[in-house]
Amino acid sequence: MNYLEFKEKFLDLGCFNIYQVYAWKPGFDRNNFVRWTRKGLLIRLRQGYYTFPEYKGKPDFALYFANRIYRPSYVSLHRALSFYGIIPEGVIQITSVTTLKTASFSNAVGEYVYKSVHPDFMFGYDLKTIAGDRAIYLARPEKALIDLLYIYPFYDTIQALEDLRLDDDFLHNDLDISLLEEYTSRYKKKALERRIQLMKNTYDL
């Protein structure tokens, strides 16, 4: 198999899995994946999923890969909050929400963590267009905050919430408080409601 022919076929996908390759060439030699990865011609994202090194530094493609390599899922928590500028520093780890079991993957692109939730809580995300006209499933700001406080219950003190350094301008001008409250009510979790209220008190919302 000629690598250039292979690359011409799959480069535009951004991310692909081995089954797509076998559908194209049923007799494809899977040892090519190992050889081309060792030579730096491919990047292994997780078992059975690959991308090309050309995508490693492209803006937002790490988020696109997060959606693709473990589905269904959407990017949320710290990385989504960073995307919207709600927390100040860049976030290296990409945490997503899924109905599958909790999982994590480490590769040359980044660190991927998937937090499992009940299917009833798999809501509050949109399809966002990113660089290269790709689309990613990303939590809305209100849902990213709820996911954060639901999945990490240690955010239960004023100090812990202050340490998040949430952006005041966003919270007071762009955050939809009614939507935040509507989403919170769907959980029917008193502990979560208390943490959300504490966050609102901490940031005078």
Q: Are residues 42 and 89 in the same domain?
A: no
pLDDT score, position 100? 98
pLDDT score, position 132? 75
Q: Are residues 114 and 48 in the same domain?
A: no
pLDDT band of residue 35 (cuts 50, 70, 90) is very high
Residue at 45: amino acid letter: L
pLDDT score, position 90? 74
Residue 1 has pLDDT above 90, yes or no: no
pLDDT score, position 133? 84
Strands 94-98 and 111-116: parallel
Q: Are residues 90 and 175 in the same domain?
A: yes
Q: Are residues 172 and 106 in the same domain?
A: yes
The number of folded domains in the chain is: 2
Quote the domain boundaries for residue 8: 3-55
Task: Tell me which residue has tokens 């190992």.
Answer: 34
Tell me the mean pLDDT in the region 60-70: 95
- Which residues make Cβ contacts (< 8 Å) with residue 165, sequence separation at least 6? 87, 88
CA distance 71 to 154: 27
> 50, 15 in Cβ contact below 8 A?
yes
Residue 58 has pLDDT above 90, yes or no: no
Q: Are residues 35 and 126 in the same domain?
A: no
Q: Are residues 93 and 188 in the same domain?
A: yes
pLDDT band of residue 91 (cuts 50, 70, 90) is confident
Tell me the mean pLDDT in the region 39-65: 95
Q: Are residues 42 and 80 in the same domain?
A: no
Q: Are residues 66 and 50 in the same domain?
A: no
SS3 category, 80: helix
pLDDT tens by residue, 124-138: 999 999 877 899 999
Residue 51 has pLDDT above 80, yes or no: yes
> 76, 95 in Cβ contact below 8 A?
yes
pLDDT score, position 92? 82
Tell me the mean pLDDT in the region 172-180: 98
SS3 category, 110: coil
Strands 49-51 and 43-46: antiparallel
